[in-house]
């Protein structure tokens, strides 16, 4: 497994935190759904999961919940390029991901908050309750931007 912007092998501790989730059908389903550029939803979630782990470990926060919540934060399980939701994907998908995460896994209240609040401040009414959730709002945007830029850059280089 590879994380965007990271060349060194991923820590065993990080892999231990997420290994039971990675092999499930629900998480594997995210490999079939393209998210940003050419990045699949699984790759994006793994990127967020890893940066969550690194930052939360450094800050003395719950790195395990941050890694697990990060991996499940976009478990909405539909192609947002083709499926139209009543209130739009941007506002709705975090809730959808939380519902799926609860359906398929036994998630903690902290993991639930990380998943459901990750679109803050766009979803200003869903204020994160935990520092790990705030970290996720940043890692999600950072990884998303990096994924789009990398994709555009690859396209430009091929021209």
Residues of this chain that interact with Fe ion (CB under 5 A) are 74, 140
Question: Which tokens belong to 60?
Answer: 């003395």
Give min distance, CB of 39 to Fe ion, in A. Answer: 10
Q: Give the whole-angstrom CA distance, residue 156 versus residue 63.
A: 37
- When the beta carbons of 110 and 143 are compared against Fe ion, the nearer one is 143
Q: Radius of gyration over alpha carbons of the chain, in Å?
A: 15
Give min distance, CB of 19 to Fe ion, in A. Answer: 21
Give min distance, CB of 60 to Fe ion, in A. Answer: 24
Which phi-psi region, left, alpha or beta, contains residue 93 (left: φ > 0; alpha: ψ -120 to 50)?
alpha
Q: Is there a contact between 136 and 70 (Cβ–Cβ < 8 Å)?
A: yes
- When the beta carbons of 124 and 159 are compared against Fe ion, the nearer one is 124
- When the beta carbons of 74 and 111 are compared against Fe ion, the nearer one is 74
Helix axes 41-58, 63-72, angle to 10 degrees: 160
- When the beta carbons of 150 and 158 are compared against Fe ion, the nearer one is 150
Give min distance, CB of 45 to Fe ion, in A. Answer: 7
């Amino acid at each position: 497994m590879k994380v965007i912007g990271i060349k060194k092998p991923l820590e065993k501790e990080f892999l231990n935190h997420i290994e039971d989730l990675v092999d499930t059908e629900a998480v594997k389903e995210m490999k079939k759904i393209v998210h940003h550029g050419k990045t699949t939803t699984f790759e994006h979630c793994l990127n967020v999961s890893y940066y969550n782990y690194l930052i939360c470990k450094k800050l003395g926060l719950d790195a395990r919940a941050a890694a697990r919540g990060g991996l499940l934060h976009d478990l909405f399980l539909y192609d947002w390029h083709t499926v139209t939701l009543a209130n739009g994907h941007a506002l709705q998908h975090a809730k959808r991901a939380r519902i799926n995460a609860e359906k398929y896994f036994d998630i903690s209240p902290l993991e639930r908050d990380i998943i459901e609040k990750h679109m803050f401040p766009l979803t200003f009414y869903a204020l994160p309750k935990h520092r790990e959730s705030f970290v996720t709002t940043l890692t999600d945007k950072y990884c998303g931007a990096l994924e789009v830029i990398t994709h555009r850059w690859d396209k430009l280089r091929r021209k």
